[in-house]
């Protein structure tokens, strides 16, 4: 099963490597990993999307906790959370298809960020499934390039 | 130095001030370009002894032997590049067996890092997966605190190796020396005390089962005072005890409740007991594949309690019913407080006795041939379990585990997890620097003895009275055994008979007295001679039979109950 794990780490060189090499050394998958600063400059948040059965996820969380640079590990999968991904996609276009592509972009509440005679680049954010759906709809026009940020996620506030 | 009046200290001096604060008395090291400032300072230091090794790998194993024998962290000091990469095997070994060592590596100056500079290696990158943690000290201001953290991390929780990489300019820059007495890391808080409710439940579980078994590992050996608590628990309730390789010594091997070692080359009765028990109490052990064999059939009918300081070992290989995370001594002590009852295990012990009679640990005697088991037997009797035994890796290691009767923790020192050939010679030297009141006996095969043979020179130079036993069967015996059993008797590159050096001559050339024994009659005499010789190291070569095999044996991946208990009929073999 797919899990979204949020990991707070000390913002030190090597911390990302410690985490990613733990995954590779123990044979765990990383579907995506994203990392950035948090409200505290010396703390970074990694959002890791991984797959595995209950036993593997349990080990992943324990092994992450074992790393000295790791401050906190939260499995967000079964919690109330917000998960978002950023997509930058460059699509081939011609006179006739340009407006169709803009329509699709608008439906996904995206933005056109670059345009040439034969390509358009779009910026779309949303939950990973929405990103998948957008790519699926843009596929017929011909895709030149895709850049996905990987999922970033956080818990929703308690009410 | 040179009239420098700054109140600040040079990095190299800070280094030694920090080591003093940590109570370090011995450093195993080898100088080089990147550590020149540190060695310059070391030149005038008298209260810390630097032991000059012959190869950096030797230094790491010495530090391991030192740490395992004393419980104090072992310290290594090497230069950058090749000096650092030569420590990798020892670091990996310490990581697998949770040995607290701190390895200081020199590094090229910070301005050259990443430049493919002379003798540069990214040792932090290289050792990341095999250290508990590692540090690159980029600024002399961080040096003292980093050393504090390194010792703290190496020695607390589940111990392990820590690397501190010190660029050359850092050891040559100045900073004020401040060293905190204690330290707390917000990201690292080992749990020492088990959850009281879980401990209470464990006592309940013990009360309600009839066939309990204690399965104890290195965690009990490492945790000061844990073996006393274990003894109390086992003897009060008459619970039999089996030990892992690293657990040997946690419970007296000559006690009637001891089942010896379990697992791949464990005793028949220990493996029978773990398969048949209804309550398994694992303490400081990690359900390693050499212990469990095939997981599906491992101790299927038991209720499992798992006491360990490392939460990641819980449910890693075997799903347990009752985990208790914490230090084994603390938890066993708390558990003992709840033991205000007795249980009747007499039926269970009777059953185990039958297994013991059915298939005791034994070897062929009386045919005049010299066997390793006999050497170990005689050594065990002569030293009465009062020695520190440091076997290498392979058949002889298993025979030591089976036939030497260990009495105390920290008297059996071996490479278990990584299985590093060449461990014994340097590790025994390290142990002998830490412990002066017990004889230290290194036991190697003819293969492993050659892997760090250069450290004999170290032992000779420092007149360290280690007894280096060589069990020479002219083969890489354990590999040969597998070739015989599972690889169509194709003895591919395991026969060393014609290529071994003369071990007596080579020892003597390195300044080590040497004896040889090639028959049953001289064993006792040479061991006595070796034990009585204390002016320096001594080598004793035992020329043993060539083709013996270690039994019982659980083939890799098989159930522990499917062990091979005696030599297969030669006619049945392909």
B186 touches chain A (CB under 8 A): yes
Q: What is the mean pLDDT of residues B226-240?
A: 98
Q: Give the CATH number of the domain where residue B527 resides.
A: 3.40.50.970
Closest CA to B254 of B118, B381, B67, B116: B381
Residue B108 main-chain phi, psi, to 5 deg: -65, 160
- Catalytic-labelled residue, pool B8, B17, B21, B119: B119
Q: Which fold has domain A81-155?
A: Alpha-Beta Plaits (3.30.70)
Across the interface, whether the CB atoms of A71 and B129 are under 8 A apart is answered no
User: pLDDT tens digits, residue range B159-218?
Assistant: 999 999 999 999 999 999 999 999 999 899 999 999 999 999 999 999 999 999 999 999
What per-residue confidence (pLDDT) applies to B571?
A: 43
Q: Are B40 and B145 in the same domain? A: yes
B338 touches chain A (CB under 8 A): no
Helix (H, G, I), strand (E, B) or coil at B548: coil
A56 touches chain B (CB under 8 A): no
Residue B2: pLDDT band (50, 70, 90) is low
B286 touches chain A (CB under 8 A): no
Structural domain includes residue B3: no
Distances (CA, A) of A125 to A83, A110, A134, A143: 10, 7, 10, 18
Residue B560: pLDDT band (50, 70, 90) is confident
Across the interface, whether the CB atoms of B128 and A62 are under 8 A apart is answered no
**What is the ipTM for the molecules in this complex?**
0.88
What per-residue confidence (pLDDT) applies to B556?
A: 86
Query: Is B119 among the catalytic positions?
Result: yes
Give domain limits for chain A.
2-75, 81-155
As for how many domains chain B has, the answer is 3
Domain A2-75 -> CATH class = alpha beta
Q: What is the mean pLDDT of residues B413-419?
A: 97
Q: Are B395 and B541 in the same domain? A: yes
User: What does the alpha-carbon distance between residue B409 and residue B157 come to, in Å, rounded to a whole number?
Assistant: 18
What per-residue confidence (pLDDT) applies to B514?
A: 98
Pairing between β-strand A81-92 and β-strand A152-155 as defined by DSSP bridges: antiparallel
Pairing between β-strand B26-29 and β-strand B74-78 as defined by DSSP bridges: parallel
Q: Does the pLDDT value for residue B55 go beyond 60?
A: yes
What per-residue confidence (pLDDT) applies to A111?
A: 97
Q: Does the pLDDT value for residue B572 go beyond 50?
A: no
Low-confidence ranges of chain A (pLDDT < 70): none
The pTM assigned to this predicted structure is: 0.94
- Same fold for the pair A2-75 and A81-155: yes
Nearest Cβ partner for B128 among A17, A62, A63: A17
Q: Are B418 and B517 in the same domain? A: yes
Quick one: how far is CA A117 from the chain centroid? 30
Token pair in block for residue A8: 């707070």
What per-residue confidence (pLDDT) applies to B457?
A: 98
Structural domain includes residue B476: yes
| pLDDT more than 70, % of chain B | 98
Q: Are B377 and B464 in the same domain? A: yes
Domain residues for the domain of B141 are 9-175
Q: Are B350 and B424 in the same domain? A: no
Handedness of CA B62, B151, A10, B310 (dihedral sign): positive
Q: Are B345 and B379 in the same domain? A: no
Structural domain includes residue B188: no
Q: Are B31 and B74 in the same domain? A: yes
User: pLDDT tens digits, residue range B422-449?
Assistant: 999 999 999 999 999 999 999 999 999 9
Closest CA to B260 of B251, B161, B101: B251
Structural domain includes residue B2: no
What per-residue confidence (pLDDT) applies to B365?
A: 86
Q: Are B146 and B121 in the same domain? A: yes
Q: Does the pLDDT value for residue B573 go beyond 90?
A: no
Residue B5: pLDDT band (50, 70, 90) is low
What per-residue confidence (pLDDT) applies to B6?
A: 53
What per-residue confidence (pLDDT) applies to B116?
A: 95
Q: Are B518 and B457 in the same domain? A: yes
- Average model confidence (pLDDT) across chain B: 95
B316 touches chain A (CB under 8 A): yes
Residue B234: pLDDT band (50, 70, 90) is very high
Q: What is the mean pLDDT of residues B60-76?
A: 98
A9: closest chain B residue by CA: B187
What per-residue confidence (pLDDT) applies to B567?
A: 53
Domain boundary among B328, B358, B388: B358
What per-residue confidence (pLDDT) applies to B570?
A: 43
Query: The tokens 């014609």 sit on which residue?
Result: B498
| pLDDT more than 90, % of chain B | 93
B186: closest chain A residue by CA: A71
Quick one: how far is CA B290 from the chain centroid? 15
Query: Is B354 among the catalytic positions?
Result: no
Cβ proximity of B26 and B64 under 8 Å: no
What per-residue confidence (pLDDT) applies to A46?
A: 96
User: What does the alpha-carbon distance between residue A77 and residue B224 come to, in Å, rounded to a whole number?
Assistant: 41
């Amino acid at each position: 099963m797919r899990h979204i794990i949020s990991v707070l780490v000390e913002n030190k060189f090597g911390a990302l490597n410690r985490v990613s090499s733990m995954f590779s050394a123990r044979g765990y998958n990383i579907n995506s990993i994203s990392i950035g600063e948090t409200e505290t400059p010396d703390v970074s948040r990694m959002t890791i999307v991984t797959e595995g059965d209950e036993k593997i996820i349990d080990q992943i969380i324990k092994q992450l906790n074992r790393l000295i640079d790791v401050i906190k590990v939260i499995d967000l999968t079964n919690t109330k959370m917000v998960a978002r991904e950023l997509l930058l996609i460059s699509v081939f276009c011609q006179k006739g298809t340009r407006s169709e592509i803009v329509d699709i972009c608008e439906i996904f509440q995206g933005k056109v960020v670059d345009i040439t005679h034969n390509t358009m680049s779009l910026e779309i954010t949303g939950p990973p499934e929405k990103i998948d759906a957008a790519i699926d709809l843009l596929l017929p026009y011909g895709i030149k390039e895709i850049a996905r940020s990987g999922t970033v996620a956080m818990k929703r506030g308690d009410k | 130095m040179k009239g420098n009046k700054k109140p600040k200290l040079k990095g190299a001096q800070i280094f030694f001030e920090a080591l003093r604060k940590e109570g370090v008395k011995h450093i195993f090291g080898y100088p080089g370009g990147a550590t020149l400032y540190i060695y310059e300072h070391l030149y005038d230091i008298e209260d810390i002894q630097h032991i000059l090794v012959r190869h950096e790998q030797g230094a790491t194993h010495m530090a391991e032997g030192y740490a395992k024998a004393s419980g104090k962290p072992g310290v290594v000091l090497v230069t950058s590049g090749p000096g650092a990469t030569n420590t990798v095997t020892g670091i990996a070994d310490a990581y697998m067996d949770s040995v607290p060592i701190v390895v200081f590596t020199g590094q090229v100056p910070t301005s050259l890092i990443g430049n493919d500079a002379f003798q540069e290696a990214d040792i932090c990158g290289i050792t990341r997966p095999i250290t508990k943690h590692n540090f690159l000290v980029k600024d002399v201001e961080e040096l003292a605190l980093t050393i504090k953290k390194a010792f703290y991390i190496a020695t607390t929780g589940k111990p392990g190796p820590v690397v501190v990489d010190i660029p050359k300019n850092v050891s040559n820059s100045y900073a004020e020396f401040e060293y905190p007495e204690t330290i707390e890391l917000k990201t690292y808080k080992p749990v020492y005390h088990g959850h009281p409710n879980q401990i209470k439940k464990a006592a309940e579980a013990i009360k309600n089962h009839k066939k309990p078994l204690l399965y104890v590992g290195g965690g009990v050996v490492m945790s000061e005072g844990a073996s006393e608590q274990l003894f109390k628990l086992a003897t009060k309730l008459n619970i039999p005890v089996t030990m892992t390789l690293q657990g040997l010594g946690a419970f007296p091997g000559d006690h009637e409740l001891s089942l010896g070692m379990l697992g791949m080359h464990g005793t028949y009765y220990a493996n029978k007991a773990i398969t048949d028990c209804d309550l398994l109490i694992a303490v400081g052990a990690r359900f390693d594949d050499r212990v469990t064999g095939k997981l599906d059939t491992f101790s299927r009918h038991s209720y499992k309690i798992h006491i360990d300081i490392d939460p990641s070992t819980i449910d890693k290989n075997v799903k347990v019913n009752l985990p208790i995370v914490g230090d084994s001594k603390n938890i066993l002590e708390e558990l003992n407080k709840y033991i205000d009852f007795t249980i009747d295990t007499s039926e269970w012990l009777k059953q185990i006795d039958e297994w013991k009679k059915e298939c005791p640990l034994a070897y062929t005697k009386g045919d005049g041939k010299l066997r390793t088991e006999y050497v170990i037997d005689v050594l065990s009797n002569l030293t009465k379990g009062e020695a520190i035994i440091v076997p290498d890796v392979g058949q002889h290691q298993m025979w030591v585990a089976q036939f030497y009767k260990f009495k105390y923790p920290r008297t059996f020192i071996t490479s278990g997890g990584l299985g590093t050939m060449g461990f014994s010679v340097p590790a025994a030297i390290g142990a002998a620097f830490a412990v002066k009141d017990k004889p230290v006996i290194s036991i190697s095969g003819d293969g492993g003895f050659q892997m760090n043979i250069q450290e004999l020179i170290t032992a000779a130079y420092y007149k360290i009275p280690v007894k280096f036993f060589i069990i020479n069967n002219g083969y890489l015996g354990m590999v040969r055994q597998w070739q015989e059993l599972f690889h169509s008797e194709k003895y591919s590159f395991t026969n060393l008979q014609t290529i071994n050096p003369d071990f007596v001559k080579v020892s003597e050339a390195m300044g080590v007295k040497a004896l040889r024994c090639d028959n049953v009659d001289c064993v006792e005499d040479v061991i006595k001679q070796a034990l009585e010789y204390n002016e320096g190291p001594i080598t004793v070569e035992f020329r043993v039979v060539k083709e013996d095999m270690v039994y019982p044996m659980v083939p890799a991946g098989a159930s522990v109950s499917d062990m091979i208990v005696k030599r297969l009929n030669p006619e049945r073999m392909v």
